[in-house]
Amino acid sequence: MAFYRFVFFLLQACSGSPEIKDPLIEFDQNIIVSSQKLKSSDSLFRAGSIILFDDNLFVQDEDLNFLFKVIDVNKDLLVRRFGKIGQGPCEIEPLSVASRSGVNGEMIGMFETQTKEYKEFQIKQFLETDKNTGCNSFQGKFGPEIRLAIKVGDNLFLGAGPGQKPYSLLSGNQIKQTIGEFPFQDQFEGIEPIILDLAYQNKLYKHPTKPLVLGTSSFSFNMDIMELENEGNLIIKKVFTLLAY
């Protein structure tokens, strides 16, 4: 992680002094929210990604050979663990990335970053029974140019990685389309895309019920809103450039 931050700050230094813009000026709506601490959060050691499914939080926090802890928000209770770690059927590797999937966001997809494999779990079935409900495994592996992938349609995946363009639409494990640019890519002439990918570490978030995906980064306020059209093509609907050079 420290290496990635070093690369990112090196790229910033090479491009001149940054002018910071207030991210809120890019949006025409804002909502005031409040929060309160869940007592059950004391059971977490080091929380990572969090996915909300109805009234249940799936919190990435490796414990007792499971990758996720499941918290019932209404009851404020740790109710079970999810994502058995291992190499057996429907088990997952520790370095996996979770995302909502399915037509109505009824599933959780797991992309295994080391094996480049993808599995889906029916969350409702998992919450209603203590038995092993199994999973749907994507047949095949993604190529080395795919660092991260989420499912966006029937056998369609959106991948991020160190290609000439940051986003790849895949049919199965075959690249169908590449789109987008790394933020301020035209100012980094001569820098290999793999370095830009390491610097920005793009993340992907799919809308639970719409064919929309947010592409963003922990190291930059820049965001891309992408949409999968009915024809099966991926377009970028909006680019938010919140850090100008």
Furthest C-alpha separation in the chain: 57
C-beta of residue 74 within 8 angstroms of C-beta of residue 54: no
Residue 202 reports pLDDT greater than 60: yes
Contacts 24+ apart (CB under 8 A), 212-221: 212/237, 213/150, 213/152, 213/158, 215/160, 215/166, 215/167, 215/180, 219/4, 219/5, 219/8, 220/8, 220/183, 221/23
pTM score: 0.81
61, 63, 99, 224, 229 from 102: Cα distances, Å: 24, 27, 10, 22, 16
pLDDT at position 214 is 94
Task: Please check the confidence at residue 14 and state whether its pLDDT lies above 80.
Answer: no
pLDDT digits (tens, 9 = 90+) for 111-160: 999 999 999 999 888 888 766 668 888 878 899 889 999 999 888 999 99
Question: How far apart (Å, rounded) are the C-alpha atoms in residues 121 and 83?
Answer: 9
Contact of 184 with 199, CB cutoff 8 Å: no
**pLDDT tens for each residue of 37-87:** 999 999 998 888 899 888 999 999 988 889 999 999 999 999 999 999 998
